[in-house]
């Protein structure tokens, strides 16, 4: 299967899947919850995040995250075996609660600098890279799952302005309570909204002279 083509087709239909599956009452009161949800799915379809990260990133926008299951089912049918785009190129598979428990226990024993030893305890052919990412992006209790506050967004923008928009591990370290995927997703969403607002403003300003001329013509 051509994975790029498969994911491109999924990305094109994400909005329809969300609209047809989820009802207004399924969303939380988070502003732009539906738009945020669609953006998360598109990041998944573009290999930016995996299925576990998708669920975590969608959690603030849905009252019951299990409502995602039908949408995920459609995606998994379209692309039965998604490649894990980490450095080891092994296929991704969802983490089980038992694996998460072993990961937490392994980190308690070995800390966060001996991922080879951690991976050997987790088992199930999990690599040091997978264990590190799972801990730093999902399991670490310091990672906040709550909605972003205005103060956090402002802090994120300040940090990215200082270190750039490519060093997300460093950005996450500076934030302290958000993982790299959360920071990258939030920053891109903020910039997308900002660019959209600027484009709408430019279009409105461009239309103003035409409207003024039309009014003058009507007066004459």
| Of 42 and 155, more confident | 155
187: helix, strand or coil: helix
Q: How far is 40 from 55, CA to CA, in rounded Å? A: 9
pLDDT tens column, 49-93: 777 788 888 888 898 988 888 887 776 665 544 444 444 445 568
Question: The tokens of 187 are what?
Answer: 């920053």
Name residues whose C-beta falls within 8 Å of residue 51's C-beta, 6 or more positions apart in sequence: 44, 72, 82, 92, 94
Where along the chain do the CATH 1.10.10 domains lie?
97-139, 150-219
Cα atoms in the 13 Å half-sphere on the side-chain side of 210 = 5
Say what the pLDDT of residue 219 is.
59
Give the bridge partners for 91, in sequence order. 83
How far is residue 194's CA from residue 189's CA, in Å, rounded to a whole number? Answer: 9
pTM to 2 decimal places:
0.62
CA pair distance 32, 181, nearest whole angstrom? 19
Of residues 67 and 212, more confidence is placed in 67
Does residue 80 sit in helix, strand or coil?
coil
- Alpha helix positions (H), the chain: 3-21, 33-45, 51-58, 69-78, 97-110, 115-122, 128-134, 150-163, 168-175, 180-219
Between the ranges 11-25, 33-47, 171-185, where is the mean pLDDT highest? 171-185
Mean pLDDT of the chain: 81
Instruction: Please give the average per-residue pLDDT across 1-17, as a whole number.
Output: 53
114-143: burial string, b at 16+ Cβ within 10 Å, e else? ebeebbeebeeebbbebbbbbbbbbbeeeb
Q: Does 107 have pLDDT greater than 90?
A: yes
Query: Who contacts 162 (Cβ-Cβ below 8 Å, separation ≥6)?
Result: none
Pick the CATH number of 150-219 from 1.10.8, 1.10.10, 3.30.780, 1.20.58: 1.10.10
CATH class of domain segment(s) 97-139: mainly alpha
Q: How would residue 1 be classed by pLDDT, with cut points 50, 70 and 90?
A: very low
Write out pLDDT tens, residues 111-163: 999 999 999 999 999 999 999 989 998 899 999 988 899 999 999 999 999 99
Q: Scanning the structure block, which residue is given the tokens 């990305």?
A: 11
């Amino acid at each position: 299967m051509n994975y790029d083509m498969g994911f491109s087709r999924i990305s094109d239909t994400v909005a329809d899947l969300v609209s047809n599956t989820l009802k207004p009452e399924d969303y939380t009161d988070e502003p732009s919850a539906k738009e945020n949800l669609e953006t998360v799915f598109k990041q998944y379809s573009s290999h930016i995040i995996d299925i576990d990260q998708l669920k975590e990133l969608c959690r603030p926008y849905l009252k019951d995250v299990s409502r995602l299951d039908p949408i995920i089912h459609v995606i998994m049918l379209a692309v039965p075996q998604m490649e894990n785009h980490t450095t080891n190129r092994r296929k991704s598979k969802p983490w089980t609660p038992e694996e998460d428990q072993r990961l937490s226990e392994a980190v308690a024993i070995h800390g966060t600098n001996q991922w080879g030893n951690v991976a050997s305890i987790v088992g199930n052919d999990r690599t040091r890279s997978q264990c590190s990412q799972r801990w730093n992006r999902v399991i670490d209790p310091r990672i906040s799952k709550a909605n972003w506050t205005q103060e956090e967004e402002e802090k994120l923008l300040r940090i990215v302005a200082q270190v750039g928009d490519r060093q997300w591990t460093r950005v996450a370290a500076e934030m302290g309570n958000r993982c790299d995927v959360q920071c990258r997703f939030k920053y891109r969403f903020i910039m997308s909204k900002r660019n959209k607002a600027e484009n709408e403003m430019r279009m409105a300003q461009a239309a103003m002279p035409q409207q003024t001329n039309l009014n003058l013509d009507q007066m004459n």
